């Protein structure tokens, strides 16, 4: 029984990488902390730990296929990527319509990863990747602006001609 003013909570440990605790499946960990039990409500909390050795190994694998010779500006990215196997390349670029993605100069389809980030397929091997962006409404907006400018110039010329 916990002391007055103390709360004891027992859970099964699961790591951030998905495996159960190093001590084995079903290992129970007891967490104690000072709190007023009358003002505390626990709603199925989970406790996670991070196996830093496994994280380092996973990051090393990811770095093997990373982008190299990266160059970019406001709406264009060029890079080289080497993929050990066929797979998907995901980016930290927010997903939106209006991207053009090319792998080795050929346009490829792209999709969102988890509804948030830009992702596309890359076959095994070394490839040149090019990503460019043009806002979906840019071309219609440009056409409307040009037509408006032409109309304004025509109106000014007609008004000047009639005022003489």
Please report the pLDDT score of residue 3 as a whole number. Answer: 57
* CA distance linking residue 32 with residue 157, whole number of Å: 83
How many separate domains does the chain show? 3
Residues 144 and 162 in one domain: yes
Per residue in 55-90, pLDDT (tens digit) is 888 778 777 767 788 898 988 999 999 888 898 888
Residues 46 and 93 in one domain: no
Does residue 60 belong to any structural domain of this protein?
no
Does residue 1 belong to any structural domain of this protein?
no
Query: By residue range, what is the domain housing residue 48?
Result: 6-55
Instruction: Return the minimum-mean-pLDDT range out of 17-21, 49-53, 112-116, 158-162.
Output: 17-21
Please report the pLDDT score of residue 57 as a whole number. Answer: 84
Please report the pLDDT score of residue 56 as a whole number. Answer: 85
Residues 128 and 72 in one domain: yes
Please report the pLDDT score of residue 76 as a whole number. Answer: 93
Residues 121 and 155 in one domain: no
Does residue 30 belong to any structural domain of this protein?
yes
Rounded mean pLDDT, 133-162: 90
Q: 3-state class of 135 per DSSP?
A: coil
Of the candidates 92, 113, 89, which has an alpha carbon nearest to the alpha carbon of residue 101?
Answer: 89
Residues 77 and 124 in one domain: yes
Residues 107 and 146 in one domain: no
Q: Is 125 left (phi over 0), alpha (psi -120 to 50) or beta?
A: left
Burial pattern 115-135, b for ≥16 Cβ within 10 A else e, equals eeebbbebeeeebebebebee
Please report the pLDDT score of residue 17 as a whole number. Answer: 47
CB of 41 closer than 8 Å to CB of 77: no
Burial class (CB in 10 A: 0-12, 13-18, 19+), 89: buried
Please report the pLDDT score of residue 5 as a whole number. Answer: 55
Residues 47 and 82 in one domain: no
CB of 120 closer than 8 Å to CB of 89: yes
């Amino acid at each position: 029984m916990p002391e007055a003013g103390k709360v004891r909570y027992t859970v099964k440990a699961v790591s951030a990488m998905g495996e159960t605790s190093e001590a084995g499946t079903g290992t129970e960990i007891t967490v104690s902390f000072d709190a007023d039990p009358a003002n505390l409500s626990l709603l199925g909390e989970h406790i996670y730990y991070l196996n830093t050795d496994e994280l380092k190994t996973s990051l090393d694998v990811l770095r093997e296929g990373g982008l190299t010779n990266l160059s970019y500006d406001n709406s264009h990215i060029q890079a080289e990527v080497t993929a050990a196997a066929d797979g998907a390349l995901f980016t930290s670029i927010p997903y939106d319509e209006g991207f053009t993605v090319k792998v080795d100069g050929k346009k490829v389809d792209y999709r969102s990863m988890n509804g948030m980030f830009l992702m596309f397929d890359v076959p095994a091997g070394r490839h040149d990747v090019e990503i460019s962006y043009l806002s979906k409404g840019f071309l219609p907006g440009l056409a409307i602006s040009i037509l408006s400018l032409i109309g304004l110039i025509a109106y000014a010329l007609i008004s000047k001609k009639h005022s003489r």
